[in-house]
Amino acid sequence: MKTTIEVQEELLEQVRRVARSEGTTLRGLVEEGLQRCLEARRNAVRRNLDFPSYGGSGLTAEFEGAPWNQIRDEVYRERGRDCD
């Protein structure tokens, strides 16, 4: 299959030099790079973040659907801190 992509000129020249020095083609290096990228993504460690929970049943009705800055301001209000 043929496709067209835009690549920075400097990167393309580097790849062409490597291809010539290794006796391969631009296409071969591009395919190798894409395969390595896909393999790295398949093998990437997926981490589940453990967020502590302190019980309760979520946001109160007052903050349901509220923007983050309103919730943040309320959290820090009692500490006398202004976050804006």
Q: For residue range 18-74, what is the model confidence (pLDDT) as tens digits?
A: 999 999 999 999 999 999 999 999 888 777 777 777 777 788 888 888 999 998 898
Residue boundaries of the structural domains of the chain: 9-43
User: Following DSSP, what letter does each residue of 16-70 receive, concatenated?
Assistant: HHHHHHHT--HHHHHHHHHHHHHHHHHHPPP---------S-SS-TTTTT--HHH
pLDDT higher than threshold 90 for residue 78: no
pLDDT higher than threshold 60 for residue 81: no
pTM of the model: 0.51
The CA distances from residue 69 to 45, 53, 62, in Å, are 32, 21, 14
Cα–Cα nearest to 59, from 77, 71, 72: 71
pLDDT at 28: 96
d(CA 75, CA 66): 13
pLDDT higher than threshold 90 for residue 15: yes
pLDDT band at residue 80, thresholds of 50, 70 and 90? low
